[in-house]
Amino acid sequence: MFLTLKCFKGLSFVVFILFDGNISLPVSESPIKVIAPGGNDVMLPCSLGMDIRSHSFDWAKDGLKVFVYTKSGYYLDMDKRFMERISHFKNQLQSGNASIMIQNTTMADSGNYTCNFPKLPQGQKTFHVELVVGEYITNVENCLCLQSRSSPLVTSQIGILFLLRGHWCWREEAATT
């Protein structure tokens, strides 16, 4: 898949990847690619579609711990580059959202991330996300903007949702072969 981003030059935005029907990631397929401009906040998606408050999960970038959640607290011995820039959606754990938000992205944040659930009743599950951060990503083309106070996490089409100054903007991906 290839995504062309044009227009609205210089606006800050958060990229959310949305999936057909829910935000669960495929387990054994290619990584989901998230593209974001440097200096902005970005969400890396991960969801099981079940209550995960009593389950541990961790995020790693190229093998280094980025974020660890346990029902008893948070693991503090993480990669120092992410210590104060990572947050998660604590109030959405009940609905299965294990996504994380990285604040103030830099090119060094680009890489391969894993969202790992090591001890689920059905076994371990690992999801893969590739983050690409670049200064060249500054525009959005053909974007439908809707004012919204809540983030729509479910869609019937595959695409990308942008948050532009409080407006949700939808842009479908253009698949290339």
Dump pLDDT digits (tens) for 32-84: 888 888 888 899 999 888 899 888 899 999 888 899 988 776 665 677 778 78
In this prediction the pTM is: 0.62
**SS3 label, residue 170:** strand
Say which residues have a Cβ less than 8 Å from residue 73's Cβ, sequence separation at least 6.
Answer: none
Gap between the Cα atoms of 117 and 97, Å rounded: 12
Query: 13-172 belongs to which homologous superfamily?
Result: Immunoglobulins (2.60.40.10)
**SS3 label, residue 108:** helix
Encode pLDDT of 94-124 as tens digits: 999 999 999 998 899 999 999 999 988 888 8
Domain boundaries, the chain: 13-172
The pLDDT, as a whole number, for residue 101 is 92
Q: How many CA atoms lie within 13 A of 149 on its CB side?
A: 0
The pLDDT, as a whole number, for residue 99 is 93
